[in-house]
Amino acid sequence: MRFTLFLALFISLSSTANAADNTAMKNCSLSAPLPKSGEEANHGQLMLISPRTSELSPNYSGCQTLWFAINGKPIKVSEVEFFNGKPTKFTGFENEQGKISFSCTYKNAKLVNSVGQCDSELPMNIPMASMPSGCFEKVKTGKWPPECEYDGQ
């Protein structure tokens, strides 16, 4: 009886602690890009970045997510997790259902754990720079308005 009670209490406390950890991380459970997501282009394809690098504080703890906009629908491509301003995890997704393609854990920009294929060092473009919302269409005209400068450079 005591063991059963102890086990139930342990499971309850463990799931409460995990829920607290997940909610403490900003922007790590996004199901869609934020309204003012940054924009980037890749071979003419719109990519959205939430939140923009300019919105990340020096001690940011949370996630920055990259989405492709395919037929107007955002598809999550990758997510970078930060702890106290440092990138600690880089995860890639391979389909619309969010199946993980790779997950790379870093400490001081060096790989310490991996699932799938990971680079030994954190990619140089993290955090991801972007243009302000609305600039993708503006730069497609061939003109680069001053308000469409990249952040984080």
Task: Indicate whether 144 belongs to any domain.
Answer: yes
- pLDDT tens digits, residue range 122-135? 888 899 999 999 99
Residue 100 has pLDDT above 80, yes or no: yes
Number of domains in the chain: 1
Task: Indicate whether 34 belongs to any domain.
Answer: yes
pTM of the model: 0.79
Task: Indicate whether 13 belongs to any domain.
Answer: no
Residue entry with tokens 């990519």: 47
The answer to whether 24 and 44 have CB atoms below 8 angstroms apart is no
Task: Indicate whether 7 belongs to any domain.
Answer: no
- For residue 153, the model assigns a pLDDT of 58
* Cα–Cα distance list, 69 to 99, 107, 129, 136 (Å): 18, 31, 17, 12
Task: Indicate whether 124 belongs to any domain.
Answer: yes
DSSP assignment of 42-68: ETTEEEEEES-GGG--TT--EEEEEEE
- pLDDT tens digits, residue range 17-65? 333 344 468 999 898 999 999 999 888 889 999 999 999 999 999 999 9
Residue 147 has pLDDT above 80, yes or no: yes
